[in-house]
A and B are shown apart, each in its own frame.
Chain A
């Protein structure tokens, strides 16, 4: 047995620090590698042109636009629905067996493989509701996939608001909804936005759910309505990496880099909004 507390401190520190480094290094390496391989492909034509020569040349414009549409469509459905039901479950639902079962089910839904959502979307939205493979069907499928994330983070954010704030507000003759609206939600907003960030990243990056519901193999034009198919970056990346022979490495990594940049910049927007909300709180 080691008795020396200073030595133990050193060992603990080294272990904790080492684990952190092991986690951070691969992320940096991946980022570095993608930027290094993909950067030469990035230019104005690549970002704004249609693909050419069987996707071996030209740009990825329709895939960029498709992914943006899908992310927006997903948030349009998932954000209001997820936040509202999160508020209901946390603030209004009685704590009984049924509520606990629903909460447990939602947490478990987050762990369902994305291809299952894809098949579900195909069955419900594409075939049964006859939306066809379309932006609408794809957005709805992605929305259902990210709903558990949004609901769960919303609930966690609401739970972290001190109970005393609710009590004080109610004791001042403020109604329950006004309390939620003016006290609870403003405090929970940064947490809710974190959920939105996670949802955006997931929706932008997933391939399987859009595979059967919206993504086009090759469609060198922009969609005219929500019932049109679109190309999307993650599926396009899959296609040019595995389905089309002899695509230059830099085009593949360039596509990956663009996807990364889109996700990161959408996150950045949410992070800035979150910082604004945090500033208003005077802890």
Chain B
């Protein structure tokens, strides 16, 4: 299996706080990898090192190396714009722009000028079909995206990423604002998308990790405690802390 993301001795400091400690991780292409662990364990921080969104915070220091598709992304030459085109992100709260559905999808296309106006309709349909929204929204393309249900908004946010043609989708607790039905729908969507994308999902919901992921990484207090196939980890965890977390002793 091709390795899409790889970290070597990755450390993350926020001021004097040591947020990630010696993380060594390899994420396989076209798989869903879940990052699990209790609140504050560093799973969101780890996710954000992969598209360097942590750069937006001041007082942050990263040591070690992160490779995306074989390329070190923590070098002075790293082009953040291209990195983030390659590594898309879905946020915890659905966050469509206060624009119409169509303008949300076409936002990146218009700015990056990746396609002429004649292709806009095709891009719209393709992106919305990929997240199963086309039938529901094809007559409402010019409605405000903020009028959609939360689930539709989150689907739209995923659809908005697709015209950028990323290889990797980072999902930071994408279902935490959604009800159980919508959560099930988004999980189904993730399984559909993994055919074409490498997906990393941060979740505090262990059932979700068990249902949707192929691999799981358990983080605790900034350390990667255990990493392996989800099935194995959830049935025969190697580390005592993993077992205790999975059985609900803490978290």
A interface, CB within 8 angstroms of B: 94-95, 162, 164-165, 167-175, 178, 182-183, 187, 281-283
Quick check: is B174 within 8 A (CB to CB) of the other chain? Answer: no
Stretch at the interface among B17-25, B67-75, B106-114, B176-184: B106-114
B interface, CB within 8 angstroms of A: 51, 53, 56, 58, 81-86, 88-89, 91, 93, 95, 97-100, 107-108, 111-112, 143-147, 157, 160-161, 164
**A35–B182 CA distance with the chains assembled, in angstroms:** 61
- Shortest beta-carbon distance from B85 to chain A in Å: 3
The majority secondary structure among interface residues of chain B is: helix
> Can you offer 26 A-B residue contacts whose CB atoms are under 8 A?
A94-B58, A162-B95, A164-B95, A165-B95, A165-B98, A167-B53, A167-B95, A168-B95, A170-B84, A171-B51, A171-B84, A171-B89, A172-B88, A172-B164, A173-B82, A173-B86, A173-B108, A174-B81, A174-B108, A174-B111, A174-B112, A182-B107, A182-B111, A282-B100, A282-B146, A283-B144
A95 touches B89 (CB 8 A): no
B81 touches A175 (CB 8 A): yes
Residue of A nearest to B84 (CB): A173
Which of B81, B83, B88, B98 is A187 in contact with, Cβ under 8 Å? Answer: B98
Ordered nearest first, which 10 A-B pairs have the shortest CB separation?
A282-B144, A173-B85, A173-B84, A171-B89, A164-B95, A172-B108, A281-B98, A173-B81, A168-B95, A283-B98
**A95–B57 CA distance with the chains assembled, in angstroms:** 11
Q: Which residues of A contact B81 (CB under 8 A)?
A: 173-175
B111 touches A178 (CB 8 A): yes
- Shortest beta-carbon distance from A218 to chain B in Å: 53
A164 touches B98 (CB 8 A): no
**A174–B146 CA distance with the chains assembled, in angstroms:** 22
Could you say which of A94, A165, A173 has the most chain B C-beta atoms within 10 Å of its C-beta?
A173
A282 touches B53 (CB 8 A): no
Which of A94, A95, A165 is B97 in contact with, Cβ under 8 Å? Answer: A165
**A187–B53 CA distance with the chains assembled, in angstroms:** 22
Q: Which residues of A contact B164 (CB under 8 A)?
A: 172-173
Could you say which of B84, B86, B97, B161 has the most chain A C-beta atoms within 10 Å of its C-beta?
B97
Q: Which residues of A contact B160 (CB under 8 A)?
A: 172
- Shortest beta-carbon distance from B109 to chain A in Å: 10
A171 touches B93 (CB 8 A): no
Add 7 more A-B contacts to A167-B91, A173-B164 (CB < 8 A): A165-B95, A168-B95, A170-B53, A172-B84, A282-B98, A282-B146, A283-B98
